[in-house]
Structure 1
Amino acid sequence: MSSPPGKLKSFFISSAGFLLDGYDLSVISFALLFLPKELHLTPLQEGLVSSASLMGMILGSVLLGLLSDKMGRKRLMGLDLVIFTVFAITSALSQNFLEMFLSRLLLGVGIGGDYPLSSSLMAEYSPSRSRGRYLVGAVSMYWVGTLLSAVVNLVFLPTGDYFWRYSFAFGALLSIPVIVARFSLPESPRWLISKGKLKGDGIPTQEEENKGVTGFLDLFRMRLLPYLLLVSAIWFLFDVASYGIGLYYPAIFREFSLPSNYEVIYATMIIAVGAILGYILAEVAIDSLGRRAVLLSGLGVMALLLAVGGVLRLTGVVLVPYFAVFVAMEQWAGAVTLFYPAELFPTPVRSSAQGFATAVSRIGAVLGVVFFPSMVKVLGLSNSLILFSVTSAIAFILALLLRETKRKELEEISLGLKEVKGRNPST
């Protein structure tokens, strides 16, 4: 089934949610160099604030994923960012730990909800021959948001120690035009087919689209459950290392490499550029080499680089190009772990599966973020990198079990509870 008209418009409007996610998590990572002093945070409170939005994503991804499969993608595409906007503003206005923690937690509900919504919509809109490029491109917007956050921090830093309030508020302003634009998005045709609301020649039947799957509980039946656990476990292990390190790049550079706040911002910008270059290479490879090859390459290089960095005990300015190369290859794994569930599961539970896997991955992210500072203090940076190398290597082994999905229609590759004989789908 080919994509509906306006797929480029749909791409930019859907992927803007990932941009806001990247902006938000990167803004807080630099603000954490100042927040403990300004809000009088204890080390425990600092860890809770840094991981609060990730905790909120656990709830938001599951809840809005479920609602998306029941109510449709379009109805919820603006709601998630309204939640983001409101609590980005309250984050900027927070005066103490409790206000900041609750604001960040509820903001995370909106971000988490956008993952199953945007991923499902993008997968369902994209043509099979180039679906990988659209999905990888959408995820790459995370690092565009990261780069933007560094620029915004650079602009507001001269305003003083409370610059982070302006940076937080700017994130809310970013979301407003996206919310307005999302009202114009059409409903996903695949969701309409799955509900029996769209029929016609040249498109899958409702039976072909659903494959015997009716709702969320079907995800836990034996034909679907092993793959649900597999993609969730791989994403969980990836996020332990990715977020455990990624949310602390400014802190790592400040402690082990660069003394100046401005130098830290420039280094963060280099990291973001490295990630974007990694996505550009993944864009070229994803529909030719395939999902498994790209994922395995990313996880394998991650494990290798983390091990090398740990064994060599890298410190100083060399950490900037080292992490830039690391984050470039990290994106090969990050993009595929994020959208694999959207391709593997049928339309009636696509958002639910994506939401479940997102929630599990964010548990891994929270663990990485909460424990990384303590790990560095107890084990040192080098041994912490080696430990993350091990989690990446385990994810690599699990990824060997995944099936390939490149250049196939979703009704061909999605898992179901019964085999459905249908027409040869068009591409």
Structure 2
Amino acid sequence: MSEAVPSRATLASRLDDLPFTRRHARLLTGSGVGWALDAMDVGLISFILAALAQQWDISKAESGWIASVGFIGMALGASLGGLLADRFGRRQVFALTLLVYGVATGASALAGGVAILLVLRFFVGLGLGAELPVASTYVSEFAPARIRGRLIVILEAFWAVGWTAAALIGYFVIPASADGWRWAFALGAVPAVYALIVRWGLPESPRWLASRGRIAAAERIVEKFEADAGVVANPTGPAERPARTIADSGAARLRALWSAEFRVRTLCIWVVWFCVNFAYYGAFIWIPSILVDAGYDLVRSFGFTLVITLAQLPGYAVAAWLIEVWGRRVTLSVFLVGSAVSAVLFGTASGDAAIIGSGMALSFFNLGAWGALYAVTPEIYPTSLRGTGSGWAAGVGRIASIIAPLLVPVLLGIGGAPLLFVVFAAFFVVGAVAAWGLVDRRGQALDDR
């Protein structure tokens, strides 16, 4: 009689039943540092734009394109990255994306004009856009079911760490010399080195391995997590049949997103991603420049932005707690409504205290909403579609992040900051409504089809 082997269902349930271990912490931290470096790169461009506007005398339209071209790359990267992650694995694509955008960011330090900077920022966005949905999918597939949402919000919280690092670089490095912005870009090249650590230091997702029929490889990884937790493994189960997936080709996976089972959740998650991207990047890419235009000097503008950025961390912390108490949909919608109110207050604020206070509230609610969004997105799709579904949702969102920086100068010219932030508030409200069309899998096992 042949020896019994673990089934996909057995492997998945063993992962879900594990306590939080040192291996989980290592995986979360390893993925989170990559996430933080991504945030640092995106955050740096908001400070660099304010500096280049003075040094290169570039127009607001040119500034808008420098910001938006990176998001064009992110839209393409997110769409392709998800497809590649479902085909070739989470870890491989994760490492490759870090390498691509790290090298392009470092090369940006040598840019001598707007044209070459636009080309390099596209490649930065290509790598960055692919990395984020892949990383959240990767961590969600390791996380125990009862704390999965919380761990994804904690992963997203590394974004605040990276954006704070960008604000510190913006405050201390960029104004220090004429080449300060070049040094800022050079620091953004760190991910190129970190990519090698990720490639060799983190395991592949056992759920993905099992979905490709590589049960033995998945079993070895699960056994290591169980050993770390002191759990006695019981891997035997019915002999594994060929992996049953919803779709196995890229085109079939894309069609499956719009099948009767998934079309409502796909539409709603795309709407939420579009709205949150539009309001977030439209606001936070331009806040330093808006403050400079309001009469604050470069250093003071960057100082205000640094303080505002610090409010992101408590926003993530509260969202991480509430997401396992209220669930995904309620937490996401509440934080989006809070973002809408904060946007109106910031757009109409006058005086230092009002600007900082409303800006901190906007950071708190907006980044808490981001945490909830990244938690719910990979959960609404099965394993064979998870990377594709997450990547395309992020890719659609990046379309909004392309449009928003280009529209900001137009809206500022029509109605100033009050009109601009009322528009952002409207997008937050639409996103809050769309969140109710999503599936809430709080505490439930992932769909491993």
Q: Distance in 2 between matches of 1:140 and 1:321?
A: 21
From 114, 127, 144, the counterpart of 1:110: 127
Residues 7 and 380 of structure 1, relative CA distance in 2, 3 Å threshold? same
- Listed one character per residue, the Cα deviations across residues 119-138 of structure 1 (whole Å, up to 9, x for unaligned) are 11011011111111110011
Is 1:265 the counterpart of 2:302? The answer is yes
Partner of 2:444, secondary structure, is coil
Q: Give percent identity, aligned residues only.
A: 25
In the alignment, is the contact (CA less than 8 A) between 1:213 and 1:346 conserved in 2? Answer: no
Equivalent position of 2:204 in the other structure:
187
8 Å contact from structure 2 (residues 320, 371) kept in 1: no
**How many angstroms does 1:71 deviate by?**
0.8
* In structure 2, distance between residues paired with 1:153 and 1:209: 49
- Kept in 1: contact 2:169–2:184 (CA 8 A): yes
Cα gap change, 1:218/1:130 in structure 2, threshold over 3 Å: closer, same or farther?
A: same
1:231, 1:340 within 8 Å by CA — same for their partners in 2? no
**Partner residue of 1:149?**
166
Closer/same/farther in 2, CA of residues 12 and 2 from structure 1, 3 Å limit: farther
Q: Which residue does the alignment assign to 2:224?
A: none
Give the paired residue count: 410
Structure-to-structure mapping, 1:15-414, within 5 angstroms: 15-157=32-174, 159-198=176-215, 201=235, 210=244, 212-215=246-249, 216=253, 217-256=255-294, 259-310=296-347, 313-317=348-352, 318-411=354-447
Instruction: Report the TM-score when normalising by structure 2.
Output: 0.86
TM-score w.r.t. structure 1 length?
Answer: 0.90
Using the TM superposition, give the Cα deviation of residue 342 of structure 1 relative to its aligned residue in structure 2, in angstroms: 0.7
SS at match of 1:394: helix
Contact 1:298/1:332, CA 8 A, preserved across alignment: yes
Q: Give the whole-Å Cα distance in 2 for the aligned partners of 1:164 and 1:210.
A: 51
Preserved contact between residue 89 and residue 169 of structure 1 (Cα < 8 Å): yes
1:337 Cα offset (Å): 2.0
AA aligned to 2:398 is R
Residue deviations 1:355-375 (CA, integer Å, cap 9, x gap):
100110011112211111220
Q: Offset at 1:316?
A: 2.6
Which deviates further from its counterpart, 132-141 or 222-231?
222-231
Per-residue deviation at 1:18? 2.0
Deviation at 1:405, TM superposition (A): 1.4
Residue identity in the other structure for 1:240: F
Give the 3-state SS of the residue equivalent to 2:275 in structure 1.
helix
> 1:235–1:338: 8 Å Cα contact kept in structure 2?
no
Deviation at 1:248, TM superposition (A): 1.2
- Matched letter for residue 395 of structure 1: G
Note if contact 2:342-2:359 (Cα within 8 Å) is conserved in structure 1: no
Structure 1 gaps of 5+ residues are 417-427
Q: 2:335 and 2:242 mapped to 1: Cα distance?
A: 33
Instruction: Summarize the Cα distance change of 1:43–1:330 in structure 2 as closer, same or farther, 3 Å threshold.
Output: closer
Offset of 1:171 from its aligned partner?
Answer: 1.1
Distance 1:399 1:269 in 2: 30
Flag the 1:128–1:206 CA change in 2: closer, same or farther, 3 A. Answer: farther
Structure 2, unaligned runs of 5 or more: 1-12, 220-234
Q: Matched residues in 2 for 1:230 and 1:87: separation?
A: 33
